[in-house]
Amino acid sequence: MPISLLEQKKKNRFLLPILGGIVLITLIVIWAGFFKKPSTPPLLPSEEITPPVQIINIDWEALKNPILETLEPFGEILPLKSAPGRKNPFLPY
């Protein structure tokens, strides 16, 4: 019996510093993540936040290709017939 109590005290002696280290690391991470202000340079009044406008050119000549004129539309897709079974499968038996 006394041997097991001594072993338990030795384990507790190591667990306390480990627990303290974990708590310290957690507090440092929380402080760095939440309470520290981000270091961003202040915006000058002449700087704009909007990106520059890009001009988009559409090539409509690609739609006049004779290959596109030979394409046929798909037929109408019919809905699936209901399979035999229960009307509401989520109701319990």
The amino acid sitting at 16 is L
Task: State residue 26's pLDDT score.
Answer: 95
Using pLDDT thresholds of 50, 70 and 90, give the confidence band for residue 23. Answer: very high
Give the pTM: 0.34
Nearest to 20 by CA among 30, 8, 10, 28: 28
Using CB atoms within 10 Å of the CB of residue 46, give its burial: 0 to 12 exposed, 13 to 18 middle, 19+ buried. Answer: exposed
User: What is the Cα–Cα distance from 53 to 24, expressed in whole angstroms?
Assistant: 49
pLDDT cut 90: percent of the chain above it: 17
The amino acid sitting at 77 is I
Please compute Rg for the chain using Cα positions. Answer: 36
